[in-house]
Amino acid sequence: MAIRFDANKQLFHLQTAATSYAFELVEGKYPSHVYWGRRIRGNQLHTLVERAERASFSPHPVPERGNISFDTMPHEYPGYGNSDFRTPAFEAQYDNGTTVTDLRYESHEIIQGKPALPGLPAVYAESDDEAETLRVKLRDSLSGLAVTLTYTVMESLNVITRSASFSNEGSGTVLLRRALSMSIDMPGDRFDLLHLSGAWSRERDVYRSPLRPGMQSIESRRGSSSHMQNPFVALLEHGATEDAGDVYGASFVYSGSFLAGVEVDQFRTSRLFMGINPFDFGWQLEAGETFQTPETVLVYSPDGLGGMSRIYHELYRTRLCRGAYRDAVRPVLVNNWEATYFDFDADKLEAIAAVGSELGMELFVLDDGWFGKRNSDTNSLGDWFVNKEKLPGGLQDVAGRINKLGMQFGLWFEPEMVSPDSELYRAHPDWCLHVPGRYRTEGRQQLILDVSRPDVQQYLIETISGVLSSAPITYVKWDMNRNMTEIGSALLPPERQRETAHRYMLGLYSVLEQITSRFPNVLFESCSGGGGRFDPGMLYYMPQTWTSDNTDAISRLRIQYGTSIVYPASAMGAHISEVPNHQVGRLTSLQTRGHVAMSGNFGYELDLTEFTDEDKAIVRDQIAEYKTIRPLVQFGDFYRLRSPFEGNVTSWMFVSKDRTESMVVYVQVLNEPNEPLGRLKLKGLDPSRNYRLAGTDRIYGGDELMYAGIAAPRFHGDFGSALIRFIAE
Ligand code: DGJ
């Protein structure tokens, strides 16, 4: 049993294979956090919580119990207005304009399995014995607002998920002004906060800083999870490292605006919270209606940041991603974007594919520019019919030519967008997000379709399905290239305008659910100007994401390293592109570009017809090698060895689940004169086995490789790299 309730102690104890999470009902009414961390036997946990009477500035709700105060209680789902002055998990406003809510325990149930969240992406259990779920119902008797806290324990995966749902069981209207998915009051403040922040083409840099008193948070107000902040935070106990120490991760399964952070209070309790961004959010609940928050995924690891990452990788790879490609190796692709941009015809595409096929590539992806009258990014989004000037034989003809070369054919879309210069916009000017009478701000000369509208959803499903049925298309790149402005919907009444952004996400999820189920054998890759929506919400529908528009091998070290904090390599698109690199102008060798890109879903994005014979020989070998290591990269365990945020060298490695195969990638950015000789200690191998260095007869002990290490590779020149494989004897 993963979840137990001790009625005497009023204690809920949730256990995974390696962790415990517990909370109690103070006075039988108020859910109060007790513990989250390494697994604890039995139910002695209540003895952990100490209470002390505080000054009158921390009032107490039970008059005769001076040592109970909401201001000091470690809450499981704090409200506001009756003496907890810290940041609340929710705020509800009633017909009389007031915002005070008094939630008290009403009932609970424990069920096998993990029910889906209606209309939302979420981690799933394949069978009921993989998970157990606790629902705790709290109720405000005056208003009739009920809040159900849902906890699911995935025992063997070492994961606990949390969400909340609000039901209006009263007769009035309730306006939700804030509805976070979870809040946990962690004892003490001896933690560092880690988050992944960046910008377009510089996504997911790793930031770590000690907590200080007060609020510290990250958020997106862009209507997407964003390049700037990823919906993830971790608390690392002071001194925790990549390999050791207590780490607590919280990851948000959502693709829209979010808020995540920590408030350290006067008694040094650290309140960790995460959910839909309350900024510009509101949700009106009429009598009988329910609102479900998205899910947060909580991971505790005593084995440092690396241990936490591997738990997320396994979970997201196997119980978040879905579909035929979840467990299938991903094809080596060539994409024409950086090769041609908008300037191509069918012969040019075929010529690129012909070289790709000769070199072992498996999928040709036709990127932007195949539809409407699109010869630049100024028009035609929404007009998803073939540009007959460029492709007179249509998609059938292009796909046929590609298939004849023995390759699969994939296609780019940007379905959520509309160009003002398009047939779609001229026919339906009301179909975009906008506020009546206000200027419609464009980004890349485009507006955003109002995907909260059922008619827009239907249009998207039918139009995209029509194109996918019109030719043998086995891969889709689903792009999205701007953020929301003038967020309003022509179909919603005034009092529901602040629901638009979340309704958009629900609409998008519904469209994705229907399209991906109609085309179960198509591999979908999500993209938002690269990694602007690299989040668990999108991974639920599409098992891989274009990691960044920046394909420079050296920039990618930081981008892929930062992304690996939460997301598995099987989720990351990684391509070799041309030099000088189009984003940063850097020159790196084909080898280094290959070693970095081979650490994800590998592909090429350059004009293959310009390859010399020497390039072709290198690329042929790269692809052959990638095909050998592909299952290891896509399904193996990932270990970070050296951080690009800490020095001149980046290194990581993959180890197969049975620990028989491994691969190390090592990149040195700048060469140094007369440099010291370095050692690199490997991780994750079996210490009792011997491993052969691939391509040689040299045998090493697993213990030797991990405890003594190997001589760090040395290079002549900048941007040197090595890919080293050890295979068990
Ligand atoms: C942004 C994407 O990230 C690129 O890879 C490319 O598909 C362009 N959009 C096309 O407009």
Residue 11's DSSP bridge partners are 6, 24
Q: What amino acid occupies position 621?
A: D
The candidate with the shortest Cα–Cα distance to 315, out of 329, 328, 298, 330, is 298
Helices (H), 523-672: 536-541, 553-563, 590-597, 613-635
Report how far ligand 1's centroid is from the alpha carbon of 578 (Å). Answer: 16
Residue 300's DSSP bridge partners are 248
- Nearest-atom index, ligand 1, CA of 527: 3
- Nearest-atom index, ligand 1, CA of 477: 7
Whole-structure pTM value? 0.98
Domain 333-546 has CATH 3.20.20.70: yes
Task: Tell whether ligand 1 has an atom less than 6 A from the beta carbon of residue 368.
Answer: yes
Angstrom distance (rounded) from CA 24 to CA 273? 19
Residue nearest to atom 1 of ligand 1 (CA): 529
* 44-47 long-range contacts, CB within 8 A, separation 24+: 45/11, 45/13, 45/20, 46/9, 46/11
Q: What is the mean pLDDT of residues 608-626?
A: 98
Report how far ligand 1's centroid is from the alpha carbon of 358 (Å). Answer: 26
549 catalytic residue (yes or no): yes
398 CB burial (10 A radius; 0-12, 13-18, 19+): buried
Q: What is the mean pLDDT of residues 656-671?
A: 98
Q: What is the mean pLDDT of residues 345-351?
A: 98
SS3 261: strand
Angstrom distance (rounded) from CA 181 to CA 197? 21
Q: What is the mean pLDDT of residues 458-486?
A: 98
pLDDT, one tens digit per residue, over 65-123 is: 888 889 999 999 999 998 899 999 999 999 999 999 999 999 999 999 999 999 999 99
The candidate with the shortest Cα–Cα distance to 665, out of 508, 578, 557, 567, is 557
The candidate with the shortest Cα–Cα distance to 71, out of 271, 278, 213, is 271
Contact 159, 297 (CB under 8 A): yes
Helix, strand, coil % (nearest 5) of the chain? 20, 35, 45
Of these residues, 189, 450, 549, 637, which one is catalytic? 549
Report how far ligand 1's centroid is from the alpha carbon of 241 (Å). Answer: 36
Report how far ligand 1's centroid is from the alpha carbon of 232 (Å). Answer: 25
Task: Tell whether ligand 1 has an atom less than 6 A from the beta carbon of residue 338.
Answer: no
Task: Tell whether ligand 1 has an atom less than 6 A from the beta carbon of residue 314.
Answer: no
Angstrom distance (rounded) from CA 281 to CA 177? 6
| Pocket perturbation via mutation, ligand 1, pick of 367, 378, 478, 606 by most ligand atoms within 8 A of CB | 367
Contact 350, 403 (CB under 8 A): no
DSSP string, 101-169: ---EEEEEEEEES-PPPTTS-----SSGGG-EEEEEEEEETTTTEEEEEEEEEETTTTEEEEEEEEEE-
Checking if the pLDDT of 46 tops 80, the result is no
Ramachandran class of 703: left when φ > 0, alpha when ψ lies in -120 to 50, beta otherwise? alpha
User: Tell me, what's the pLDDT at 535?
Assistant: 98
Task: Tell whether ligand 1 has an atom less than 6 A from the beta carbon of residue 413.
Answer: no
Contact 676, 647 (CB under 8 A): no
Report how far ligand 1's centroid is from the alpha carbon of 529 (Å). Answer: 6
Angle between helices 613-635 and 590-597 (to 10 degrees): 20
Domain residue spans in the chain?
80-316, 333-546, 642-728
Checking if the pLDDT of 501 tops 80, the result is yes
pLDDT, one tens digit per residue, over 364-400 is: 999 999 999 999 999 999 999 999 999 999 999 999 9
Task: Tell whether ligand 1 has an atom less than 6 A from the beta carbon of residue 370.
Answer: no
- Nearest-atom index, ligand 1, CA of 528: 3
Report how far ligand 1's centroid is from the alpha carbon of 413 (Å). Answer: 10
Contact 702, 663 (CB under 8 A): no
Contact 256, 276 (CB under 8 A): yes
SS3 47: helix
Report how far ligand 1's centroid is from the alpha carbon of 535 (Å). Answer: 18
Residue nearest to atom 9 of ligand 1 (CA): 529
Task: Tell whether ligand 1 has an atom less than 6 A from the beta carbon of residue 603.
Answer: no
- As assigned by CATH, the class of the 642-728 domain is mainly beta
Q: Which residues contact 131 (CB under 8 A, 6 or more apart)?
A: 2, 112, 113, 114, 125, 152, 153, 154, 155
Angstrom distance (rounded) from CA 547 to CA 201? 9
Contact 212, 193 (CB under 8 A): no
Residue 180's DSSP bridge partners are 275
Checking if the pLDDT of 449 tops 70, the result is yes
Task: Tell whether ligand 1 has an atom less than 6 A from the beta carbon of residue 71.
Answer: no
Note the maximum CA span of the chain: 86
Report how far ligand 1's centroid is from the alpha carbon of 366 (Å). Answer: 11
User: Tell me, what's the pLDDT at 47?
Assistant: 67
pLDDT, one tens digit per residue, over 144-170 is: 999 999 999 999 999 999 999 999 999
Checking if the pLDDT of 223 tops 80, the result is yes
Q: What is the mean pLDDT of residues 281-301?
A: 98
Percent of the residues in the chain that have a pLDDT greater than 70, as a whole number? 99
CA distances from 625 to 228, 335, 595, 705 (A): 35, 20, 10, 23
Residue nearest to atom 10 of ligand 1 (CA): 368
The candidate with the shortest Cα–Cα distance to 162, out of 255, 292, 30, is 292
Q: What is the mean pLDDT of residues 9-16?
A: 95
Angstrom distance (rounded) from CA 549 to CA 444? 15
| Pocket perturbation via mutation, ligand 1, pick of 479, 534, 577, 604 by most ligand atoms within 8 A of CB | 479
User: Tell me, what's the pLDDT at 61?
Assistant: 82
Q: CA angle 451-430-534, nearest 5°? A: 25
DSSP character at residue 429: G
Task: Tell whether ligand 1 has an atom less than 6 A from the beta carbon of residue 532.
Answer: no
Q: How confident is the model at residue 45 (pLDDT cuts 50, 70, 90)?
A: confident
Please provide the average confidence, as pLDDT, over all residues in the chain: 97
- Nearest-atom index, ligand 1, CA of 412: 7
Angle between helices 394-404 and 454-470 (to 10 degrees): 50
User: Tell me, what's the pLDDT at 53?
Assistant: 86
Of these residues, 303, 479, 552, 637, which one is catalytic? 479
Angstrom distance (rounded) from CA 341 to CA 349? 11
Angstrom distance (rounded) from CA 591 to CA 302? 37
Q: Which fold has domain 80-316?
A: Beta-galactosidase; Chain A, domain 5 (2.70.98)
Task: Tell whether ligand 1 has an atom less than 6 A from the beta carbon of residue 365.
Answer: no
Task: Tell whether ligand 1 has an atom less than 6 A from the beta carbon of residue 410.
Answer: no
DSSP string, 687-701: TTSEEEETTS--EEE
Positive or negative, the Cα torsion across 276, 278, 281, 287? Answer: positive
Angstrom distance (rounded) from CA 45 to CA 34? 7
Contact 117, 125 (CB under 8 A): no
Task: Tell whether ligand 1 has an atom less than 6 A from the beta carbon of residue 366.
Answer: no
DSSP character at residue 35: E
Task: Tell whether ligand 1 has an atom less than 6 A from the beta carbon of residue 529.
Answer: yes
Task: Tell whether ligand 1 has an atom less than 6 A from the beta carbon of residue 605.
Answer: no
Report how far ligand 1's centroid is from the alpha carbon of 368 (Å). Answer: 7
| Pocket perturbation via mutation, ligand 1, pick of 368, 378, 575 by most ligand atoms within 8 A of CB | 368
Report how far ligand 1's centroid is from the alpha carbon of 309 (Å). Answer: 28
Angle between helices 553-563 and 590-597 (to 10 degrees): 10
Task: Tell whether ligand 1 has an atom less than 6 A from the beta carbon of residue 481.
Answer: yes
Q: Which residues contact 634 (CB under 8 A, 6 or more apart)?
A: 329, 330, 569, 570, 601
479 catalytic residue (yes or no): yes
